[in-house]
Amino acid sequence: SSDHMAFAPYVNSKKATFEEQFMNSFEQPYVHEPITKLNSKRLMILPLLVELDGGKKLCITEADLEDYPGMFLNNSTDKPVLKPIFASYPKVKKQGGHNNLQMLVEEREDYIAKTSGTRAFPWRVFIVSENDKQLADCDMVYRLASPCRLQDVSWVKPGKVAWDWWNDWNIYDVDFRAGINTETYKYYIDFAAEHGIEYVILDEGWSVNMAADLMQVIPEIDIPELVNYGKSKNVGIILWAGYYAFERDMERVVKHYADMGVKGFKVDFMDRDDQRMVDFLHRAACFLFLRQQYYEWRLDP
């Protein structure tokens, strides 16, 4: 209704065209500016928050995003207007990016999605609050999502995680060489067990660099030994996986490590939310669920 202040997160790509900005990691700090002062040359990601009169807030986001591209926002006028922009469907992709673990879009189609016209489309959501604590307590996105399709969710065991990347393997006063190796991760498992932390993540570095092959493990890491050691301490192991390395061989990779006792994967560097990538996220989640169900059944028929 007027030039309200907004909390807006730009894409982290500063490239010239919107098509180039579609490739971004969705992890930017928020700026606090009037809508008309927002950078018209850059896309913004969700959620975006607008300060209304009288202390009210308007949160713009989306829900039930499936088989469709995610929404960006942009203000390319001198009026307080935000318009939606969607990444077009990928036409030509090439392996590359971070450590050769991504698929870079080199050419896009002139449409945003291939889909059925009779389907239910994602919700584009306006959440209005009278005070800030209502935003923290809001479950609108959850309520608008499709109902859970899992009949049994007892195998889902959330928990805290000790994360090597956070401290860059920077441990000292130990009798071994700290780094990406079995001894260091045993130290992390001991720490997790002592402090009631349920999981330890092996972040990037446990698999051979630049190979984009999760079956190639560096010689300094013994994953079965870490899984068994963690099991003895009631600590589960989660493995980091670059997106393309995971997608290209998903069935073999998940079966191999699930049979070994690995509890899950942290999949990284998707850096897109066009329809193809949104579909990957859904397929990966479904496949991990099916594999876990098989694994649990095989252990306890």
Residues 205-222 have pLDDT tens digits of 999 999 999 999 999 999
Label residue 168 by pLDDT band (50, 70, 90). Answer: confident
State residue 281's pLDDT score: 92
Q: Residue 249: is it exposed, middle or buried by C-beta count within 10 angstroms (0-12/13-18/19+)?
A: middle
Over residues 161-189, the mean pLDDT reads 90
% residues pLDDT > 90 (the chain): 82
- Report the pLDDT value the prediction gives residue 108, as an integer from 0 to 100: 96
pLDDT at 294: 52
CA atoms within 13 A on the CB side of 273: 15
**Per-residue pLDDT for 300 more than 50?**
no
DSSP 152-195: --TT-----EEEHHHHTT---S-SS--SSSHHHHHHHHHHHHHT
The segment with the largest mean pLDDT, out of 59-63, 147-151, 169-173, is: 59-63
pLDDT of residue 153: 84
pLDDT tens digits, 63-83: 999 999 999 999 998 899 999
Q: Over the chain, what is the mean pLDDT? A: 92
pLDDT score of 165 more than 80: yes
250: which 2 tokens?
A: 């998903």
